[in-house]
Structures are given as structure tokens and as C-alpha cells.
Amino acid sequence: MMREQPRYLIGVDVGGTFTDVLCLDTKSQALLSAKVPSLPGRQWEGVVGALAELGIEPGAIRAFVHGTTIATNALLERKGAKTALVTTEGFRDTLEIGRTRRLTGGLFDIRFVRAAPLVDRPLRLEVAERVAADGTVLVDAAGIDFSHVAETLRREGVESVAVGFLNAYANDANERAAAAALQDLLDGVPVCRSTAVASERGEFHRFSTCVLNAYLTPVVVAYLERLAAELAAHGVAAPVNVMGSNGGAMTLDQAAGFAAGTFLSGPVGGVGGAVRVCEMAGIRDCITFDMGGTSTDVALIHNLAPRISHDNQIDACPLQVAQLDIHTIGAGGGSVAWVREDGALEVGPKSAGALPGPACYGRGGTEPTISDANLVLGRLPTERSLAGGLRLDGAAAEAAFAELSEALGGGDPVTLADGVIRIAVAKMAGAVREVSVHRGFDPRDFALLGFGGAGPMHVFLVAEELAIPNVIVPRFPGHLSALGQLLADARHDYVRAWGGRLGALTEKELRRVAAGMQDEAAATLDEEGFAVDRRHYAFAVDARYVGQSYTLAVGVDPDAPGWDGLRRAFAAAHELTFGHADLNNDVEIVNIRLVALGIVDKPALVFAQEQNGDPAIETRKVWFDDGWCDCPVLDRARLPAGCVFGGPAIVEEAGGTSVIPPGWRVEVHESGALICRRDGRFA
């Protein structure tokens, strides 16, 4: 008797408050979902618990993709490995000197103190190697005895080593020799070289990226090993992949060697899921609004492509890797409302987290949060359980706001709860402006796509704040990040420092460098088992006007680059971003970039009506604007495609509640998404 082939595709997103899992049954095309509380410090337990909630056979899982916040948490909490930096003689202080400008804090903040580097000065060790700017090896590292360096590192109890040499982007032979020697001498201690993670000009950013990767590697590796062992113990035989910050999936081995590429592992899944939702709904431009229990993440999608950034900063540490341009603020359902020293009301960034959580969770929390505010305003139910079996305690939420009201000198707790929501909405609107207006885009030209456990509750209010006329709420909004993990292609980013003024470059040399990069990418996709027809390559160059220090990425075809066409494309990109173009100045190339994708099948994800009958659940009093109104509460699973209704309304489903204010028109798309438009005001 033949054994049935594995049939389930699994996407798991571990958030600060909840762990979400989405499962696609490739046989029936049905989607299953589960949500369980996240367990800080024991993320793998939440993952295993979420899988158990699905009720499927673990051995029938075909693929498993996981988004995690382990790297982000380790950096923010400064719980990474004890790390050393081995660098070129005379450059041990590069990490502290940087570019002699403030990377965090206000320019005029007299209390500003620069954050300490991740590597203490005594653990920044110098060696007498040297490579010239053109790549010529002046002092060969192969002739250096690294035993004294290794002895110092062992004596200091170093757990991870970063190797960063000057001008290694031009020739990394010395870095390779040093890393190999230290790896042999330091048995079991991971050694990371800078050109393996960021082969670009600029020693400060390259060293910082390398140090970040080394600092996080032992923590990420320990977590991944524990996760893989726990899944195997529970019968999961499928390969486990991890979401990368660039929006693609990585194998466990790749993630272990590139820990710095997992910072946005969770949020990028939501952006990938949003692209798929937009494809099915026939929408090309949207801004994602992912509000969970701890934070809100926003990103801009233009022409169905998320924006990518290569010059990033994580908690004052420059990070020179490809990652989605996601802006995060501390505003989630668990964000705490509190009173500042000057007596003003403030919301976040402190969060009640998963434990104890908001007061209404009944887990010991007493501080008022955004979730408590929504419950006080009637926007959440008390008589029915939410996803994960959570039933909210209305009396606890009211008590928390009564205490906050007393701290503010008295007042109506309901009006106070409304004020908390308004403050949070203003902050979240600012985050949307950051990824749109500050990047040269008008947010009114985009739809705002709300998801995450709390996103659909606030997305309409943020849209009204920004005069955005269109809102989308996908099916399973609380699990969209998990959906993005499930749909993720394999992605690899390559960069080569190459170029100069266009007038001095030859197209033949561009083709030669590009061919070498593509051969390297093809070898990796071969190892991962992607057939030639399941691969996609896209080249771009980092270009700038002569005299500029900042670059813009411009797509290019190495087989037919056409310098005149490249000049025009760069001018158009410069005008879109900065509002002007300098047609009298020459353009120069700084880097060549390649994105190599291994394409996976994308399911149709057409959500049929799940239940028959009347979608109306109840009518209850809900606060909108400045008063209470009778608001219908609808069951999302009973809303058929083509159904049209108007606000005010509340739509409930597993993992998310949509709060639709008065004046909005809603249509249920055949893809399952709610396509919403503000009637009249923004025509």
C-alpha cells in the first residue's frame, strides 16, 4: 500500500504577543489556522503549540516556513554572544568613530549619549595586514601567526568572532585567510568575515554588519537547533525554512550563517502576503498596516513590488544588507496608556506583551492598553471568545481606565479610552507618512491594507487621518504574516562594488561581472533543487550623480544595458524621489546588485463562503466619533462574495476584528478580501 505524499504547507509567525500558524492543504486547497500566546524566551513552545492546535498529522507536512523575532529581541535586550573583532592595524576604533554623526537621538538633545559598540575596545584586536583600495595585497595575511590572537580570545571567553579588514570589498583574500586560520584555532567558535555578509565600500557599515552577524549567530543557531529538534520530536520531518529580511525564505543552514538577515523575519511575511492579496484583488499599489500586540509595521508596495533598503539601522547599529523597507513603531494592542511627568496622556511604546497582557486578558495585567480601550468603547466582545480561546474581561478594562482617569485628575473613562485610540492613530499615521511622504509618494494614491490581530480595528481610522480613500482587509487578517511565510520564494541577494562614471565604463565589463554573479547564484539555486524554469534573476545598479554620496537603485539588463537609457531611468528615479533631476551632471555606478529567486507554486487562495445563513451576530452599542450608536456585528465566514454593506459595522472572524466607522462602503471580493471605500469625502 503506497503511503500518501505530504500535503500540508505551513507558515508560522511568532509575534510579541501571539504565535500564528496557517496551513494550506494542497489536496483540498483548504486553509486551517490557529493562534496561541507567544512564550517569551521559549518561542519554540509557541510554535509547537500552534501546530498542535491545527489537529493535522505532523508527518504529512511537506514544507515549513517560520518567521521569528529571535534576532531582534537578542539585540534590543543586548543578549547576544560575547563578540570580538579582528581588524586591520589602526582601525580598531572604527566602530566607535563611525561617521562622526549621531545615529540615534535628536541633533540638539544635550542628554544624548552614543550607544556603546557591541564589541568592547579590549576585544577589538588588530593585525598587520593591508590591502590597497584597488585590491592589491600590500601585506599578506597568510604569513601572519594568529595563535596569539586566538589565545587572547580563548582567555577572554569570546563566543563569536568578526573579521573585518580595510578594503576587503576589493579583494577579500586576507579576510578569508584570517577567518580560516582563526576557525582552525578556535574550535567550535563561529567566525564571520565582513565580505561574506556585506561586500561593499565603507568600512564602518561593513564592520558593523559583520559584528551584528557575529553577535547574533550563537543565539540564532541555538534557537534554530532547538526548534528543529522539537519539531522532529513531534513528528515533523519536512525541511524547516526561515524567513529572511529580504522577503525570501532561507534554509536553516543559511539562516545560521546569516543571522543578521533575519531581523525582519516576522514582519516581512505580512508584506509578502499583502502582495498576494493585492494580486488577487487587482490592486497594484498599497501600504501595508500590520498592527499586532506589541508593534505596528508599515511598508509601501508599488507596482506589486515592496521597496527594498540596503542601508539600514537597527538600534543604532548600521546594517548593510538587503531588507524590506519596513518602518516599526511601538504601538500595538498591548501598548500601555500612561501619564507623563508633565501630566499629559501618552500611549506606548511600553507594552503589556503576552504575559501578563492587557488588563482585559485576565492574566494579571492591570495597566490600561489599546485593547482595553477598544473593549471599553464596545468594539470587542465580552460574551464570545476570541482566537486562541481568549475571553475578554470588560470589568477589568473599565477598572484600568478608571484608575488612569483618577491619575489624570478625573474624567469619563469612555472619553479617555477614545483619547487613547486617537493618540495611537496619530502615531500610526506618522509611521505611514514615513514610508510614503518621506519616500516621495502620496499616500492618497495607495490603498491601506490592514492586517495583524489589531490592524483591521484601526486601519479605517488611520485612513481617515491621512485622507486615504481605499482600505483592504484580507481574509484571515490575523494570519497574513503566516500566509506570507507559506508563499515565500527562496531569495538570494548579491552585490559587487564596481563602477565609475558611465562615460568611462564599458558594457562588456558590466556583462562580465554580471555573468560571474549569476553563475554564483545559479550554483546556490542548484543546491536548493530549483529547476532552471523556476528561477528568476534581476539586476540593478546603485547609481548617483558625480559628487553625491547617496545612491538610488536602477534596474538594468546586463545583456543590453544602454548607458543613455540608464541615464534616463536614473533621472526619472531621482526626480520621483527628490523632486528634481540634474541633466547636466554625469552619472556614476557604485555597485551591481543581483536578486536571484527560486520560485515556489502560489495557490489560488480563493475563499468560498464557509457557512450558510444570516451573517448577523448581534447589534450592540459602539462608540464612534463622539457618541454611542447601534452597530451591527457580522460573522465574516457568512459573508458571501459580492455582498455589499456600509458602516458602522463590526466584522468578526478568527484572528481579527474589523471595525468599520460610519461613511465607509464595503464589498466582499471573490478573493475573500473586504474592499472598502470612504463614500464621497475623498472623491
Q: What CATH number does domain 490-598 carry, 3.30.1490, 3.90.320, 3.30.70, 3.10.105? A: 3.30.1490
* pLDDT tier for residue 242 given thresholds of 50, 70 and 90: very high
Rounded mean pLDDT, 463-489: 92
- CATH class of domain segment(s) 8-74+221-262: alpha beta
Predicted confidence (pLDDT) at residue 15 exceeds the cutoff of 70: yes
Q: Count Cα atoms within 13 angstroms, Cβ side, for 364.
A: 4
Q: Are 147 and 106 in contact (CB under 8 A)?
A: no
The greatest distance separating any two alpha carbons of the chain, rounded to the nearest whole angstrom, comes to 81
The yes-or-no verdict on residue 17 having pLDDT over 60 is yes
Q: What is the pLDDT of residue 683?
A: 34
pLDDT higher than threshold 90 for residue 555: yes
CB 666 within 8 A of CB 600: no
Of 86, 81, 80, nearest to 185 by C-alpha is 86
pLDDT band at 472 (very low <50, low <70, confident <90, very high): very high
List C-alpha distances in Å: 266 to 13, 184, 324, 637: 6, 35, 11, 26
pLDDT band at 356 (very low <50, low <70, confident <90, very high): confident
Residues counted in the chain: 683
Exposure string for 248-278, b = 16+ CB within 10 A, e = fewer? bbbebebbbbbbbbbbbbbbbbbbbbbbbbb
Closest by CA to 326, choosing from 380, 272, 255, is: 272
Q: Is the pLDDT confidence value at 680 over 60?
A: no
Residue ranges, CATH 3.30.1490, the chain: 490-598
Least confident of 339-353, 367-381, 607-621: 607-621
CATH 3.30.420.40 range(s) for the chain read 8-74+221-262
**What would the pLDDT profile of 477-516 be if each residue is shown by its tens digit?**
988 988 898 889 999 999 999 989 998 888 899 999 999 9
User: Residue 396: which pLDDT band, with cuts at 50, 70 and 90?
Assistant: very high
- In angstroms, the CA 195 to CA 190 distance is 15
When computed from its CA atoms, the radius of gyration of the chain, rounded to whole angstroms, is 26
Q: Is 211 exposed, middle or buried (0-12, 13-18, 19+ CB in 10 A)?
A: buried
Q: In the 3-class helix/strand/coil scheme, how is 413-469 assigned residue by residue? A: HHHHHHHHHHHHHHHHHHHHHHHCHHHCCCHHHCEEEEECCCHHHHHHHHHHHHCCC
- Give a three-class secondary structure readout of 601-627: CCCCCCCCCCCCCCCEEEEEEEEECCE
Residue-level pLDDT at 606: 59
387 pLDDT higher than 80: no
Angle formed by the axes of helices 455-466 and 413-435, to 10°?
A: 70
Q: What pLDDT score does 2 carry?
A: 40
**What is the pLDDT, as a whole number, of residue 607?**
59
Give the CATH architecture of domain 80-216: 3-Layer(aba) Sandwich (3.40)
Q: Would you say residue 438 has pLDDT above 50?
A: yes
Higher-confidence residue of 27 and 429: namely 429
Chain Cα centroid distance, residue 276: 16
Is pLDDT at 108 greater than 60 in this prediction?
Answer: yes
Residue 223 has pLDDT above 60, yes or no: yes
pLDDT category of residue 50 using cuts at 50, 70 and 90: confident
Q: What is the dihedral of CA 306, 204, 167, 219, to 10 degrees?
A: -70
Mean pLDDT computed over every residue of the chain: 89
Res. 259 pLDDT band, cuts 50 70 90: very high
pLDDT over threshold 70, residue 367: yes
d(CA 229, CA 235): 10
**Distant-in-sequence, close-in-space partners of 389: CB < 8 Å, separation ≥ 6:** none
Q: What are phi and psi of 299, to 5 degrees?
A: -150, 155
pLDDT at residue 407 tops 50: yes
**Residue 1: is its pLDDT beyond 50?**
no
pTM: 0.88
Q: How confident is the model at residue 390 (pLDDT cuts 50, 70, 90)?
A: confident
* Region 309-329 average pLDDT: 87
User: What is the location of CATH 3.40.50 in the chain?
Assistant: 80-216
Q: Which of the listed ranges 183-192, 357-366, 383-392 does the model predict with the highest average pLDDT?
A: 183-192
Q: Of the candidates 292, 297, 303, which has an alpha carbon nearest to the alpha carbon of residue 325?
A: 297
pLDDT at 441 over 60: yes
**pLDDT of 298:** 95
Q: Each residue of 578-626: pLDDT tens digit?
A: 888 988 899 999 999 999 999 988 776 655 556 667 899 999 999 998 8
User: pLDDT (tens digit, 9 = 90+) per residue, 154-195?
Assistant: 999 999 999 999 999 999 999 999 999 999 999 889 999 999
Q: Is 50 exceeded by the pLDDT of residue 9?
A: yes
Burial 71-84 (b: 16+ CB within 10 A, else e): bbebbeeeebbbbb
What is the average per-residue pLDDT within 322-337? 90
pLDDT tens for 19-29 read 888 888 888 77
Contact between residue 432 and residue 421 where contact means Cβ atoms under 8 Å apart: no
The three-state secondary structure class of 491 is strand
Over pLDDT 70: what percentage of the chain? 96
Overall average pLDDT of the 114-140 stretch: 93
